Amino acid sequence: MVVMLNFVSLFEGEVVKKCNFYVGVASIIITSPVLLHPLQHIAVIGTGYVGLVTAAGLAHCGNQVTAVDTNEQKIDALRNGIMPIYEPGLDRLVKDTYEAKRLTFSTDVQSAIAENDILMIAVGTPMADNGAADLSYIAHVMDTIATSMNDFKIICIKSTVPVGTGSWARTFLHEKGIASDRFCMVSNPEFLREGSAVADFLHPDRIVLGIECERSFSSMHDMYAPLIDQGVPVVKTTLETSEMIKYASNAFLAVKLSFINEIANLCDALHADVKDVSYAMGLDKRICPYFLRPGPGFGGSCFPKDSSALLYTATLHGVDLKVVAASLATNEAQKEVAFKKLLAVVDGDIVGKTIAVWGLAFKANTDDIRYSPALRVIECLVHAGANVRVYDPAAMENTRALFPDLYYAHDMYNALDEADALVVMTEWSSFGNADLTIVIQRMRHPVIIDARAVFDPQQLVNHGIIFDMIGRSCSAVKN
Ligand code: UGA
If you measure from the C-alpha of residue 176 to the centroid of ligand 1, how many angstroms do you get, rounded to a whole number?
38
Higher pLDDT, 178 or 1: 178
Q: Taking 50 as the threshold, does the pLDDT of residue 8 lie above it?
A: no
Distance (Å, whole) CA 354 – CA 390: 11
Q: Which amino acid is at 268?
A: D
Model pLDDT for residues 39-72, shown as the tens digit of each residue: 899 999 999 999 999 999 999 999 999 999 999 9
Tell me how far CA of residue 139 lies from CA of 108, 128, 144, 172, 223, in angstroms. 18, 15, 9, 9, 25
The DSSP string of 191-226 is -PPTTSHHHHHHS-S-EEEEES-HHHHHHHHHHTHH
Question: Which of ligand 1's atoms lies nearest the C-alpha of 246?
Answer: 11
Model pLDDT for residues 186-235, shown as the tens digit of each residue: 999 999 999 999 999 999 999 999 999 999 999 999 999 999 999 999 99
Question: Which of ligand 1's atoms lies nearest the C-alpha of 371?
Answer: 26
Model pLDDT for residues 332-387, shown as the tens digit of each residue: 999 999 999 999 999 999 999 999 999 999 999 999 999 999 999 999 999 999 99
Give the count of beta carbons closer than 10 Å to the beta carbon of residue 441.
12
Q: Is 474 a catalytic residue?
A: no
- Ligand 1 site residues (CB inside 6 A) read 160, 190-194, 250, 253, 257, 291-293, 295, 298-300, 302-303, 306, 362-363
Task: Give the mean model confidence (pLDDT) for residues 423-448.
Answer: 98
Question: Which of ligand 1's atoms lies nearest the C-alpha of 296?
Answer: 33
Which of the four pLDDT bands, split at 50, 70 and 90, describes residue 477? Answer: low
Q: What is the pLDDT of residue 39?
A: 87
Q: What are phi and psi of 377, to 5 degrees?
A: -65, -40
CB 112 within 8 Å of CB 66:
yes
CA proximity to 194, closest of 390, 370, 397: 370
CA proximity to 55, closest of 39, 42, 36, 70: 42
Q: What is the pLDDT of residue 27?
A: 28
Among 90, 125, 252, 253, which residue has the most ligand 1 atoms within 8 Å of its CB, making it the best to mutate? 253
Which of the four pLDDT bands, split at 50, 70 and 90, describes residue 475? Answer: confident
Q: Taking 90 as the threshold, does the pLDDT of residue 24 lie above it?
A: no
Q: What is the pLDDT of residue 478?
A: 53
Q: What is the pLDDT of residue 38?
A: 79
Q: What is the pLDDT of residue 5?
A: 32
Distance (Å, whole) CA 464 – CA 19: 59
Among 262, 334, 363, which residue has the most ligand 1 atoms within 8 Å of its CB, making it the best to mutate? 363
Length of the chain as a residue count: 479
Model pLDDT for residues 26-37, shown as the tens digit of each residue: 222 444 455 567
Model pLDDT for residues 134-148, shown as the tens digit of each residue: 999 999 999 999 999
Q: What are phi and psi of 107, to 5 degrees?
A: -105, 0
Distance (Å, whole) CA 424 – CA 442: 16
Q: Taking 50 as the threshold, does the pLDDT of residue 4 lie above it?
A: no
Which of the four pLDDT bands, split at 50, 70 and 90, describes residue 276? Answer: very high
Model pLDDT for residues 228-258, shown as the tens digit of each residue: 999 999 999 999 999 999 999 999 999 999 9
Q: Which residues contact 463 (CB under 8 A, 6 or more apart)?
A: 436, 437, 439, 440, 446
If you measure from the C-alpha of residue 324 to the centroid of ligand 1, how many angstroms do you get, rounded to a whole number?
16
Q: Taking 60 as the threshold, does the pLDDT of residue 6 lie above it?
A: no
If you measure from the C-alpha of residue 215 to the centroid of ligand 1, how many angstroms do you get, rounded to a whole number?
34
Q: Taking 50 as the threshold, does the pLDDT of residue 269 lie above it?
A: yes
Catalytic residue among 19, 302, 380, 474: 302
Q: What is the pLDDT of residue 473?
A: 85
HSE value, Cβ hemisphere, 13 Å, CA-based, for 226: 22
Model pLDDT for residues 111-166, shown as the tens digit of each residue: 999 999 999 999 999 888 888 889 999 999 999 999 999 999 999 999 999 999 99
